[in-house]
């Protein structure tokens, strides 16, 4: 038996996930591969196309037939109408890169591209924590901070698809530098890189210095998982870092509540998993800064889908393409 | 000859404007009256109803016949679905006040109520600076700061119509107190009350102290018009106050650009008239904080309609009622 389905592909800094997702949002088949993000622009695109063609082949062999549409989610702001990636944090070579046209040429089919945070937001809206909600603010707290906005049941794209960069609202004009070139952005606090900066500052270390063994992974890189484990043990350094991140997260959320009057704020990503350690300071800022009636209407909840959110949402974007302006 | 039209009524802290607005957005007839905002809740509503009935009577005598709909814009956050005003800055008695039901009872017809800044935004969208644009951020810088958001050609109401409170996003977590109860809101800088605070701080005066003669009106109240005249003369105090307001306005606008990727930012209100004195510091913050590609797509312009924006937009809201969620 064949079911109508779409390809949802989610490209991260390290890995690619590609999936066959049914029109009801069920993952029928999923494959993984390296994203080769450090390669040349064309090689990265070749790799995405190859992963897609491999999935199409597997699907055919499993009797799924052909997909109805193909959706690809990539990091960084991009123009959803032209399919041109403006800049991608993990792919230095993608600056003004015509990704969609390139993929369509390589795959030989129409492709829909969108930002990875938007795709994840659509996934949570379709099948996750925001199911059935019409006004939702979604924040993914990972290496950086991504965002997605659902207003009146529709993803907000803005003029050219670069809306929803919620990690880059200013929460403290005098705050630390952000990878985007500004400073004091939400991302400079409530992300893995923000937390690393908070820890370094607290320990009086220069940026990039070696960190205590408890909060690095096997490759000596800063580990949010390690910091969370320390917080669970009651370690002051870890608890303070999360409290500060939560404080600024609360400032941003209060602004989002007054701006959108949403029904729900959904928080995902690896740092989102540490929400219990951020909640107290976050809630204090929301209470102090958002209109009471607005704050009373909005729940702040964890994301439901985990790592599959991106592929599900990329498939949703492909199945529900936006109309051009 | 009669033309199809709607009532648009805009209630401010001091005055009410009520107008007959054609379905094409032309003001056919306009009347003014006091808003009696300091009276009891019921008296303020009685007064709005009386002004509306007076307009209906005038319209009938002028041969315009009956309106197709009635729209009333009032200050402060309100629930557009229930017609209940949460709180209104100029009407102390309106806290959880069922304004729409009361007006419908008094007028004997269906009434649509909305926030005054939303109405003004709709006016600019229908007939003003944002005509034909689909993604617009509108800020009205007056006594306070109001906002309206157009996303994909539709006003953003949020769950219960309290979205768009753009004056109450945090631009400096350590900033001065705001009338909303928070501190460091955009309104605490880029409004008449914000400018007054900046001037008082610069002069080392306690809040509410008497101010220099050049920047007060005939009733000794702080005058933005006076401060603008001083800026025009090159007065340092005035230029510094506007530069600071522009700095924080720029921080807020940069966040709005990264959030909405709009085509246009429209700035209205009395303080908006002083945009030339705020533009330099505003632009510097926009350049420093917004994504380059996003900032390049958005123009920041002055509102076009002036004081009639509110009545035109209130009529638009009445003619295009939103569907309940």
Element containing residue B40 per DSSP (H, E): none
Residues composing chain A: 325
Asked whether the whole model's pTM tops 0.90, one would answer yes
Q: What is the mean pLDDT of residues A203-211?
A: 94
- Nearest Cβ partner of A162 from B181, B255, B294? B294
Listing DSSP states for A33-87 in one string gives: EE--TTS-HHHHHHHHHHHHHHHHHHHHHTT----S-EEEEESS-EETTTTEE--
Q: Is the pLDDT of residue A250 over 60?
A: yes
Q: For residue B18, what pLDDT is reported? A: 98
Q: For residue A93, what pLDDT is reported? A: 79
Q: How far is B75 from chain A (nearest CA, A)?
A: 15
Band of residue A323 on the pLDDT scale cut at 50, 70, 90: low
- Nearest Cβ partner of A77 from B168, B172, B291? B291
Q: For residue A91, what pLDDT is reported? A: 77
Q: Is the pLDDT of residue A33 over 70?
A: yes
Across-strand partners of A15? A34
Nearest residue to A268 (alpha-carbon basis) of A161, A153, A145, A179: A145
pLDDT (tens digit per residue) in B289-315: 999 999 999 999 999 998 899 999 999
Q: Is the pLDDT of residue A324 over 80?
A: no
- Mean pLDDT in chain A? 94
Distance CA A265, CA A307 (A): 18
| Contact status, residue A37 vs residue A100, Cβ threshold 8 Å | no
Q: What is the pLDDT along chain B (325 residues), one digit of tens a residue?
A: 458 999 999 998 889 999 999 999 999 999 999 988 888 888 999 999 999 999 999 999 999 999 999 999 998 788 988 999 987 767 777 888 999 999 999 999 999 999 999 999 999 999 999 999 999 999 999 989 999 999 999 999 999 989 999 999 999 999 999 988 999 999 999 999 999 999 999 999 999 999 999 999 999 999 999 999 999 999 999 999 999 999 999 999 999 999 999 999 999 999 999 999 999 999 999 999 999 999 999 999 999 998 899 999 999 999 998 765 5
User: Rounded to the nearest 5°, which phi and psi values hold at A80?
Assistant: -70, -20
Q: How far is B47 from chain A (nearest CA, A)?
A: 27
Residues of chain A positioned with their CB less than 8 A from the CB of B159: 134-135, 261-263, 297-298
Q: Is the pLDDT of residue A35 over 90?
A: no
Residues 17-36 of B with CB under 8 A from A: none
Map A207-273 to HEC letters.
CCCCCCHHHECCCCCECHHHHHHHHHCCCHHHHHHHHHHHHHHHHHHHHHHHHHCCCEEEEECCHHH
Q: Is the pLDDT of residue A237 over 90?
A: yes
Which pair of tokens denotes residue B275?
Answer: 């945009």
- Nearest Cβ partner of A259 from B169, B180, B293? B169
Q: For residue B2, what pLDDT is reported? A: 55
- Does this complex have an ipTM over 0.85? yes
Q: How far is A29 from chain B (nearest CA, A)?
A: 34
Listing DSSP states for B74-87 in one string gives: ESS-EETTTTEE--
């Amino acid at each position: 038996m064949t079911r109508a389905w779409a390809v949802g592909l989610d490209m991260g800094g390290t890995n690619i996930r590609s999936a066959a997702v049914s029109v009801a949002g069920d993952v029928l088949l999923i494959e993984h591969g390296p994203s080769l993000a450090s390669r040349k622009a064309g090689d990265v695109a070749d790799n995405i196309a190859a992963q897609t063609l491999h999935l199409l082949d597997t699907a055919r062999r499993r009797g799924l037939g052909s997909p109805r549409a193909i959706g690809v989610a990539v990091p960084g702001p991009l123009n959803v109408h032209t399919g041109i990636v403006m800049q991608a944090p993990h792919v230095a070579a993608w600056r003004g890169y015509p990704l969609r046209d390139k993929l369509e040429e390589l795959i030989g089919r129409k492709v829909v591209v969108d930002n990875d945070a938007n795709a994840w937001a659509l996934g949570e809206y379709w099948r996750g924590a925001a199911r059935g909600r019409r006004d939702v603010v979604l924040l993914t707290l990972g290496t950086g901070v991504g965002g997605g906005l659902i207003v009146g049941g529709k993803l907000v794209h803005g003029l050219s698809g670069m809306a929803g960069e919620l990690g880059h609202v200013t929460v403290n004009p005098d705050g630390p530098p952000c990878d985007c070139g500004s400073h004091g952005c939400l991302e400079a606090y409530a992300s893995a890189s923000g937390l690393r900066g908070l820890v370094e500052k607290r320990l009086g270390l220069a940026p990039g210095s070696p960190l205590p063994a408890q909060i690095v992974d096997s490759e000596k890189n800063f580990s949010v998982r390690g910091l969370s484990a320390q917080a669970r043990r009651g370690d002051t350094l870890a608890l303070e870092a999360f409290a500060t991140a939560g404080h600024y997260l609360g400032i941003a959320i209060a602004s989002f509540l007054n701006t959108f009057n949403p029904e729900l704020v959904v928080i995902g990503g690896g740092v989102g998993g540490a929400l219990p350690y951020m909640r107290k300071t976050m809630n204090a800022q929301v209470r102090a800064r958002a209109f009471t009636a607005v704050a009373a209407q909005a729940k702040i909840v964890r994301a439901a889908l985990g790592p599959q959110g991106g592929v599900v949402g990329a498939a949703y974007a492909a199945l529900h393409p936006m109309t051009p302006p």
